[in-house]
Structure 1
Amino acid sequence: MMTILEIARTQVLDEGRGLTREQALECLNLPDESLPDLLALAHEVRMKWCGPEVEVEGIISLKTGGCPEDCHFCSQSGQFTSPVRSVWLDIDELVKAAVETAQTGATEFCIVAAVRGPDKRLMDQVREGVKAIKEAVDINVACSLGMLTQAQVDELAEMGVHRYNHNLETCKSHFGNVVTTHTWEERWDTCLMVREAGMELCCGGLIGMGESVEQRAEFAAQLGELQPDEVPLNFLNPRPGTPFADYPVVEGSEALKTIATFRLALPRTILRYAGGRELTLGDLGTRAGMMGGINAIIVGNYLTTLGRPPAEDLALLTDLKMPIKALSQTL
């Protein structure tokens, strides 16, 4: 009888077909002694179907804090006692951040706002910001502005927004334990509209929010069905004042199994290191993940937590002989 790694070698590496939900669960349940083989296979899959290049991205918050939603992991929610309070960034600061991001070698700059969805004021500011960034620096502009209407999707596409981020956060069966002020289906619908409008879709989530291993496999399969261009993988960094403040940090071996499994479920997708990797994996684990399926990385700080200095991540890529992906030609 073939093992799950033997099956995955044929199905994913040779044929390019991602793991099913049941197969993903088998990989997530592999013993720790099988982790090196799982990571090695995931790296082979990444190299065959995505190549050696790594996409580098910086992010900045246009509007921070004061969000009306109750995402239990997020210190930007206005419903919790976490210390982040509402503040807006002006256009000059936005452009400065985009220029600094490009100077690190990044090809993607994401504008993020802590909102349920954009109102006219925010859409006007995004339009002004995108225009100013494009005039100042050669970098792709992405946005993450919450749930959208069809008209807003069309407007962002018309502005020249390259990619839209809207995370599902977790699998459908666990979503109600994480967010109660909107539904998983609302997020899914926004993702479909973005993809159909011709923008690249960035859609991932967080690991370590009380979900079971079975639910992680469910999440991988649901992302496989959606087929986003990029999947950012965050690991919960418990924030003071949020309902998840006392949740344990994901174990390093568990995180690496998740990375490799998501790569095998999504062989052609950009799989990006995002928040929490420093706390969960440290330097050695970060290196292992880069050799276990990751092919994109956020440099610098995240929205409400600190990341590694960009120079450290860029030095790691140099050491691993992984070239930085050139600026996309899709604009």
Structure 2
Amino acid sequence: MSIIDIARTKTLEQGIGLNEEEILQVLRVPDEQLEGIADVAHQTRLKWCGPDVSVEGIISIKTGGCPEDCHFCSQSGLFQSPVRAVRLNIAELVEAAQKTAKTGATEFCIVAAVKSPDDNLLDQVGEAIAAINDAVDIEISCSLGTLTREQAQRLKDMGAQRYNHNLETSRSFFPNVVTTHSWEERKDTLDHVRAVGMEVCCGGIIGMGESVEQRAEFAAQLAEIDPCEVPMNFLDPRPGTPFADRPLVPLGEGLRAVAAFRLAMPRTTLRFAGGRELSLGDDGTEKGLLGGINAIIAGNYLTTLGRQIEKDVDMLGRIDLPIKAL
């Protein structure tokens, strides 16, 4: 039985995710089968998630100066990168949330470049959440590094509905990407987030030098964690970082990854995030939305430019996919 037939029976009809060996087969489908596996992924998404596309905006409350050495990240204070350390005030965060909501987006994520939040940062985030909730009707999530159980509870009590903490890559490849903390530390934070009742958002980056086998391993590990949302980033090589000279992910490889992650997690929100503009372009973004993706981060990212959010909204209208409402 071909992997397309296996996926159609197991994932589309039964809603059961593919196992690691089957995910690997998806990642290796020849060009002539790519359209077929992408169609099964899209039909799976429609059946188990519906047609709506969730649109999210993100903003950094603290940019740059991070003490960790994530090799893809220009916000690390350990690399000679052009990113400057910057903090935003509450009024700027509220304004950004209002602009995001006006485009039709329903989610807004507050991000900080830190190993983990201190009390001062948590206080500021709490003020920001309260101010945003007073000004605009939008769901608020946070991404502030590793958390203790107590910090997770504090964020939950402040009104954060979801917490993002990416594993970034497979457990076996992680030491090639980060050396200042472990994969297990990240997993612990996800456990704390789930334990206090916040939604878990966890994904990673495709194209950091991992093998196709490790890419399958990563998708299977995410499926085991079972996050409500998985951001899919494609490496955008940043000047001054150890990964500055890595090649972009080719279009076909990116679309295979989208299909594989969808078929590994048929009921999960799968969100296009950073790097899609470079690796996939406009054509690939549309194909991804018709090949398993059901959410996007629109507008700019933390240190890189994305597409104008209005262009993404227009694109969704053109391919007849509705924006998810609150």
> What is the TM-score when the length of structure 1 is the normalising length?
0.98
Deviation at 1:17, TM superposition (A): 0.5
Show the counterpart of 2:34.
35
What aligned pairs does 1:98-117 form with structure 2 within 5 A after superposition? 98-117=97-116
Q: Which amino acid aligns with 2:250?
A: E
Count of aligned pairs between the two proteins: 326
Show the counterpart of 1:169.
168
Deviation at 1:197, TM superposition (A): 1.3
Show the counterpart of 1:64.
63
Q: Which amino acid aligns with 1:208?
A: G
Show the counterpart of 1:83.
82
Show the counterpart of 2:194.
195
Q: Which amino acid aligns with 1:165?
A: N
Query: 1: CA distance between counterparts of 2:251 and 2:35?
Result: 13
Query: 2: CA distance between counterparts of 1:106 and 1:75?
Result: 27
Secondary structure (helix, strand or coil) at the match of 1:127 reads: helix
Query: 1: CA distance between counterparts of 2:197 and 2:47?
Result: 26
CA-based RMSD: 0.5
Query: 2: CA distance between counterparts of 1:198 and 1:276?
Result: 31
Deviations along 1:89-139, one digit per CA (max 9) or x if unpaired, are 000000000000000100000000000000011000000000000000000
Show the counterpart of 1:242.
241
Show the counterpart of 2:267.
268
| Structure 1 unaligned spans of 5+ | none
Q: Which amino acid aligns with 1:170?
A: T
Deviation at 1:246, TM superposition (A): 0.1
Show the counterpart of 2:136.
137
Query: 1: CA distance between counterparts of 2:194 and 2:5?
Result: 33
Deviations along 1:152-191, one digit per CA (max 9) or x if unpaired, are 0000011110110000000000000000000000000101
- Identity level (%): 65
Runs (4+) of structure 1 exceeding 2 A deviation are none
Query: 1: CA distance between counterparts of 2:45 and 2:194?
Result: 23
Show the counterpart of 2:151.
152
Show the counterpart of 1:179.
178
Show the counterpart of 1:324.
323
Q: Which amino acid aligns with 2:298?
A: V
> What is the TM-score when the length of structure 2 is the normalising length?
0.99
Query: 1: CA distance between counterparts of 2:196 and 2:159?
Result: 12
Query: 2: CA distance between counterparts of 1:258 and 1:97?
Result: 31
Query: 1: CA distance between counterparts of 2:252 and 2:28?
Result: 11
Q: Which amino acid aligns with 2:207?
A: G
Query: 2: CA distance between counterparts of 1:234 and 1:220?
Result: 13
Secondary structure (helix, strand or coil) at the match of 2:280 reads: helix
Show the counterpart of 1:7.
6
Query: 1: CA distance between counterparts of 2:305 and 2:91?
Result: 23
Show the counterpart of 1:44.
43
Query: 2: CA distance between counterparts of 1:7 and 1:136?
Result: 48
Query: 2: CA distance between counterparts of 1:160 and 1:125?
Result: 13
Deviation at 1:33, TM superposition (A): 1.2
Deviation at 1:86, TM superposition (A): 1.0
Query: 2: CA distance between counterparts of 1:172 and 1:35?
Result: 27
